[in-house]
Amino acid sequence: MKKFFRILLWVLIAGIFIGTFVYLYISSRPAEVTYDVVNPTTGDIVRTTVLTGKIEPRDEIAIKPQVSGIISEICVEAGTVVNEGDIIARIKIIPDEGQLSSALTRIESARIALDDARAKWERNRLLLEKKVISREEYETSETTYRQAERELEAARDAYSIVKEGVSVNNASESNTLVRATITGLVLDVPVKVGSSVIQANTMNDGTTVATIADMNNLIFKGNVDETEVGLLKVGMPMTVNVGALPKDTLHAVVEYIAPKGTESNGANTFELKGAISDAAGVELRSGYSANATVTLSSNIGVLTIPESVVEWAGDSTFVYVTTDTIQPYVFTRRAVTLGESDGINVEVSGVNTSDRLRGRAITH
């Protein structure tokens, strides 16, 4: 029994040794490599570049108040279409105590002056009837009286403006009414009723009450790398694909290329704008992400080969050509001249459509 197990053990050791030897022998043998063959074809080489960016309205206007105060009413919401002059919001004035006191003092002074002018006018009217004074003196007192009346009205109007922000004589054009300055779509209303707002002046930009844009006049705004900006020209056509609208393709024309680049993550990019010409019927929203494809060059009806079959050696390029019709093929190296490339195929001269070129390697 022990002799049987001893023999079995030696058999297993021998089997492992022989299996290892066979495996190493097979692994050390070079793999058999064959190649596909490809033929040059006549086609089009169109070189394009793809820009990433977004859809924006050409003119996006921030509506700001002409007076400081508190929002008492908001008349629109995001998505509302407004016309130029439409009321966006109403502002309640928080009067300055010093200005309010001065306005009240002016009213009292105007009232006293009016009472005095009225008394003199009435007295001169009686004296004129008795022919004690001349008509000229009477008319002077009447003019002073009328002027005093106007001064009181002006003082009261000034008080109303200080306190309420509304002119008594021209309430419809009050600065407390924030109006749309263009016709378009309300994109955003960043304030609420009760929010404090500051008027726009030379010291600050003021509070934005609403943002309005003409959504019928849109542009593509993106960035182009410095390696390709020199190939772009104003007036070049471009196609725009919006990620949110995969079924719609828009057309645009390059209208602006920034003269100065900006550095981002170690690379220089230049801003580019394209005027979209066919947005009618497409529901676009401001800020949609989009890709724009610009055709840099196009060669139509030229001889092309896949770039993968080309061998580069310094400034020279080569392909391998065979005249064999069955495997294994024997290839001959041939110098060729390359032209434009679209990243997959390249324009070539030095071969013809009947040549069979070495393609993809197949390992057996």
- pLDDT given at position 177: 84
Q: Quote the CA–CA distance of 220 and 293 in Å, as a whole number.
A: 11
339: burial class by Cβ within 10 Å (0-12, 13-18, 19+)? middle
- pLDDT given at position 113: 87
- pLDDT given at position 258: 93
Ranges of the chain with pLDDT below 70: 1-11, 17-19, 21-33, 95-100, 161-175, 361-364
- pLDDT given at position 187: 92
Q: Quote the CA–CA distance of 288 and 173 in Å, as a whole number.
A: 37
Q: Annotate the chain with three-state secondary structure.
A: CHHHHHHHHHHHHHHHHHHHHHHHHHHHCCCCEEEEEECCEEEEEEEEEEEEEEEEECCEEEECCCCCEEEEEECCCCCCEECCCCEEEEEECCCCHHHHHHHHHHHHHHHHHHHHHHHHHHHHHHHHHCCCCCHHHHHHHHHHHHHHHHHHHHHHHHHHHHHHCCCCCCHHHCCCEEECCCCEEEEECCCCCCCEECCCCCCCCCCCCEEEECCCCEEEEEEEEHHHHCCCCCCCEEEEEECCCCCCEEEEEEEEECCCCEEECCEEEEEEEEEECCCCCCCCCCCCEEEEEEEEEEEEEEEEEEHHHCEEECCEEEEEEECCCCCCCCEEEEEEEEEEECCCEEEEECCCCCCEEEEEEEEC
CA atoms within 13 A on the CB side of 103: 19
Q: Quote the CA–CA distance of 141 and 66 in Å, as a whole number.
A: 41
CA atoms within 13 A on the CB side of 269: 13
CA distances 355 to 45, 172, 305, 344, Å, are 20, 84, 11, 19
Report the predicted TM-score, pTM, of the whole model to 2 decimal places.
0.62
- pLDDT given at position 54: 94
Q: Quote the CA–CA distance of 49 and 295 in Å, as a whole number.
A: 7
